[in-house]
Amino acid sequence: MRKRPVLLAGVASLLLTTSPAVAAERVAEDNAAAEDGSAQSDITVTARRRAETAQSVPLAISVIGGDAIERTGAFNVNRLTQLAPTLQFYSSNPRNSAANIRGLGAPFGLTNDGIEQGVGIYVDDVYYSRAASSTFDFLDVKQLEVLRGPQGTLYGKNTTAGAINITSRAPTFELEGRGEVSFGNYGFKQAKLAVSGPLSENVAARLAVSTTGRNGTVYNTNSKVWTQSQDNIGLRGQLLWRASSLVDVTLAGDYNTQNPICCGTVYYGYGATQRATARQFPALAAALNYKPASTNPYDRVTDLDTELRAKNSTGGASAKVKWQVGKGTVTSITAWRFWNWDPSNDRDFTGLPITSLSQNPSKQNQFTQELRYGLSSRNLDLQIGAFAFNQSVHTTGTQQQGAAASVFLLSSAQITAACNASPATCANGSSGILNGLTAKNDIRLNNTSLALYSQASWKVTDRFTVQPGVRLNYDQKKGWYNSVVTNGAGTQVFTSSTNNALLSAQAGVLASQQFAPKFSDWNFSYDLTLSYRLADDIRAYATYSKTFKSGGINLNGVPSDANGNPLLAAATVKPESVQHLEAGVKSQFFNRKLTLNLSAFRTDIDNYQAQVTNGALGVLRGYLANAEKVRTEGVEIDSSFRLNDRFNVYGNAAYTDAKYRQFTTAPCPPELSGGTTVTGTQTPGVAGVAGALSPASCNISGQRLPGVSRWAYSWGGEYNLPAHLLGKDGEVYVGYDGSYRSAFSSNPSLSAYTWIHGYALHNIRAGYRVDQGIDVFGWVRNLTGTNYIELLTVASGNTGLIAAQLGDPRTYGATVKFQF
């Protein structure tokens, strides 16, 4: 019953009201009304590598302009999810980040350098291979487009779930500038400045800089500091050289850095597992005289005892050449990017020294080269492209167990046996068994991808268009995984160390492993879109895509066989085979004042890349494998109504039903884990009953995919009145943006303990602005102070401990923007 008013509000707004960008603004070049003043121009997009109106593009696309991004406070991809209902973003820290569209993208709950992101992120035509880049502030953005569905025949890197296409503001040959300064509670400070102008008759430059700082929102009683802070700096420069009337050359470079106190969790609760009662969290905490800083997560208090560090920097340089050749255009984009990651995490989620050190710094370099030819004529639009990508990643890190690890992670029988085998180790108690157990990791990846792609739009008649596309792709991945585990005495620990009770107990927690996985494969994919203009402002389309997501390699460790050797069959992951169907209608009414777009989709995936565990193989950690079949299907509505220059509203809705059609060897939820693994004809015990037998794996066919809300809405609008202040004619305005997402699972397999309840967020703003001048406004985000969870995490060891990552509390502040 509590959900019903929120749902009805979202539906009602749809009846009145495309994306927030349509409601909030128009692209600068298209912002003027038609000559007769009766109609608004359409938003211009470049989703298909050519300028065209959003309503003429036969695909589901959300368009958000730079001013709308700034007004709504959506300064990174995570904030963007409140405006685009089908976009989900999950991040326990910048490295462990994933963007999903319609429930697809990257496996939920596991970071692995050896797999592809299903959602491509492009900034000025340059592919960003690391999801960490999406945690940085948007910098001098002109427009952002979220493309839903496969985009492999149009974009350089294959993307099976969709793409986020970001376009920066370009250098200008007239001097101009824009900036903003914001202040808010929690010590929030943000400043942005961009200046553009000519250096000569044929050379123009643009420079943009931004900085964001905010105190933390969760207090750590152990370190006496506030965590979840923000500390971002961004810099971007562009140089445009108009070499001739036919050739433009754009050089760009950027650098972004983050150094927050991040990313911590709070105690969320406990859920009974099948581990012995004495080895579950309540008993273990009592034995160690430990109490969480608070058992109410919304007190925003934690007691993590390991340093929290999330140093993150990324940047690069690119050269884009556009050359008019006859009736077509040749475009070359050459780019290099880097990413450096220096973390420190508390992976036991408590104030106890269980995992006392968890840090895996990583460095990446990537090179891309894209060459494409575009031709637009009266009856044919054509894009032909070639793309080359090389990525090298090197991760070196350390995980170390602390003094409380033995009690938390070992059974009493293991402790007794280990102490009997090595009395000196237990001279000062059992803590010596695992204390100092250290894994030093050396992980490497070289990833190469080559592709040829093409897409054509043939206007068979003035109303009917046929759009076929093809892609030929080659992928090669070479990896190296070497984890050297030593105990407190300096002895190396192997999985095969079963003849010594001490080493055997240690190997059950961390064990040395080394392997060199390889993967390579060719793939051919294609799509076909048919579109028909039913009336001047009504267009219907239908798409079929047969595509793929590249295979991968496991770089987080794999199960071992009976002899302690890594199972190399589990070191590689098959490509996903994707079949996608979509149909939609794009329409405008009342002289284009009302926009109403509808799309329905269904995507079937064979060999879906998912996180798995298998107790029968003695797995110590999650790894990637292929689920047999997955399907996601749903309906999306984007709508807006612009009555006049004074009043506009928008409403978006998405229904997504994403489930495993067949997944027979999935990881089990915590309530079916922790006990002795069944063998032979044994029957698993009852869920959540201490000491019961646990299944080796679980059949979760028919269950929902994690992280996906069935229902998601966004709605809002803006109203303004003319005003004359400080000798200037302007307007006073008030704006509102709301969003809602229904409950979703935060565990790879559905668990009664890890459902995140649905929640609604409300943001408001009010201010005064002068066109192309000053804009002063106040804002409140999460107006109602809604307590909500972004992510729940089940602690390792099957103790039943569950930790939470909290969403932001209510924040408020003021912003001053200016242009010249």
Q: What is the mean pLDDT of residues 369-395?
A: 95
Q: Domain with 231 in it: what CATH number? A: 2.40.170.20
Is residue 483 within 8 Å of residue 513, measured between CB atoms? yes
Residues across the chain: 820
**Which has more pLDDT, 603 or 619?**
603
* C-alpha torsion 71→72→76→78, nearest 10: 180
pLDDT at residue 22 above 60? no
Which residues are paired to 523 by β-bridges?
473
Q: What is the mean pLDDT of residues 767-790?
A: 94
Tokens of 766: 């009010």
**Which has more pLDDT, 471 or 697?**
471
- Residue 21 DSSP one-character state: H
The pLDDT of residue 441 is: 93
The pLDDT of residue 108 is: 62
**Which has more pLDDT, 565 or 297?**
297
Residue written as tokens 């005289």?
Answer: 289
Q: Amino acid identity, residue 679? A: T
Among 506, 496, 511, 515, smallest CA distance to 442 is for: 515
The pLDDT of residue 41 is: 43
Cβ–Cβ contacts within 10 Å for residue 419, how many? 21
- From CA 300, how far away is CA 321, in angstroms rounded? 51
pLDDT at residue 16 above 70? no
> C-alpha angle 49/54/57, rounded to 5°?
65
Is residue 89 within 8 Å of residue 133, measured between CB atoms? no
- From CA 575, how far away is CA 548, in angstroms rounded? 7
Residue 29 maps to a domain: yes
- From CA 97, how far away is CA 264, in angstroms rounded? 15
Residue 423 maps to a domain: no
Q: Is the pTM of this model over 0.85?
A: yes
- From CA 565, how far away is CA 41, in angstroms rounded? 64
The pLDDT of residue 74 is: 65
pLDDT category of residue 37 using cuts at 50, 70 and 90:
very low
Range of the domain at 284: 18-402+437-819
Cβ–Cβ contacts within 10 Å for residue 331, how many? 18
- From CA 302, how far away is CA 218, in angstroms rounded? 7
pLDDT at residue 6 above 60? no
pLDDT category of residue 182 using cuts at 50, 70 and 90:
very high
pLDDT at residue 616 above 90? no
CA 515 to the chain's CA centroid: 29
Helices (H) and strands (E) in the chain, counts: 8, 43
- From CA 816, how far away is CA 704, in angstroms rounded? 44
Tokens of 130: 């690391």
Per-position b or e across 448-473, b if 16+ CB within 10 A of its CB: bbbbebbbbbebeeeeebebebbbeb
The pLDDT of residue 42 is: 67
**Which has more pLDDT, 397 or 522?**
522
Q: What is the mean pLDDT of residues 473-478?
A: 96
Among 363, 145, 165, 141, smallest CA distance to 236 is for: 141
Is residue 688 within 8 Å of residue 273, measured between CB atoms? yes
Among 780, 783, 781, 777, smallest CA distance to 815 is for: 777
pLDDT at residue 297 above 80? yes
Residue 566 maps to a domain: yes
pLDDT category of residue 792 using cuts at 50, 70 and 90:
very high
Is residue 567 within 8 Å of residue 617, measured between CB atoms? yes
Residue 82 maps to a domain: yes
Q: What is the mean pLDDT of residues 200-211?
A: 97
Q: What is the mean pLDDT of residues 315-325?
A: 97
- From CA 486, how far away is CA 702, in angstroms rounded? 42
The pLDDT of residue 612 is: 67
Q: How many distinct structural domains can be found in the chain?
A: 1
Dihedral sign computed on CA atoms, order 615, 620, 622, 627? negative
Is residue 587 within 8 Å of residue 667, measured between CB atoms? no
Residue 429 maps to a domain: no
Cβ–Cβ contacts within 10 Å for residue 385, how many? 21
Residue 411 maps to a domain: no
Cβ–Cβ contacts within 10 Å for residue 37, how many? 9
Q: Which of 35-44, 471-480, 486-495 has the least mean pLDDT?
A: 35-44
In 188-332, which ranges are continuous DSSP H helix?
281-287
Among 717, 755, 756, smallest CA distance to 738 is for: 717
CB neighbours of 662 closer than 8 A, spacing ≥ 6? 627, 628, 629, 701
The pLDDT of residue 233 is: 95
CB neighbours of 266 closer than 8 A, spacing ≥ 6? 218, 293, 294, 297, 299, 300, 301, 302, 803, 804, 806
Give me the half-sphere count of Cα atoms (radius 13 Å) on the Cβ side of residue 526: 6
Is residue 217 within 8 Å of residue 226, measured between CB atoms? yes
Q: Amino acid identity, residue 682? A: Q
Residue 456 maps to a domain: yes
pLDDT category of residue 617 using cuts at 50, 70 and 90:
very low
pLDDT at residue 325 above 90? yes
Residue 580 maps to a domain: yes
Q: Phi then psi for 415, rounded to 5 degrees? A: -65, -45
Which residues are paired to 658 by β-bridges?
632
Q: What is the mean pLDDT of residues 769-773?
A: 85
pLDDT category of residue 613 using cuts at 50, 70 and 90:
low
pLDDT at residue 30 above 80? no
**Could you tell me what percent of the chain has a pLDDT over 70?**
92
Which helix H or strand E contains 261, and what residues bound it? none
Query: What region does 628 belong to: left with phi over 0, alpha with psi -120 to 50, or beta?
Result: alpha
pLDDT category of residue 110 using cuts at 50, 70 and 90:
low
Cβ–Cβ contacts within 10 Å for residue 55, how many? 20
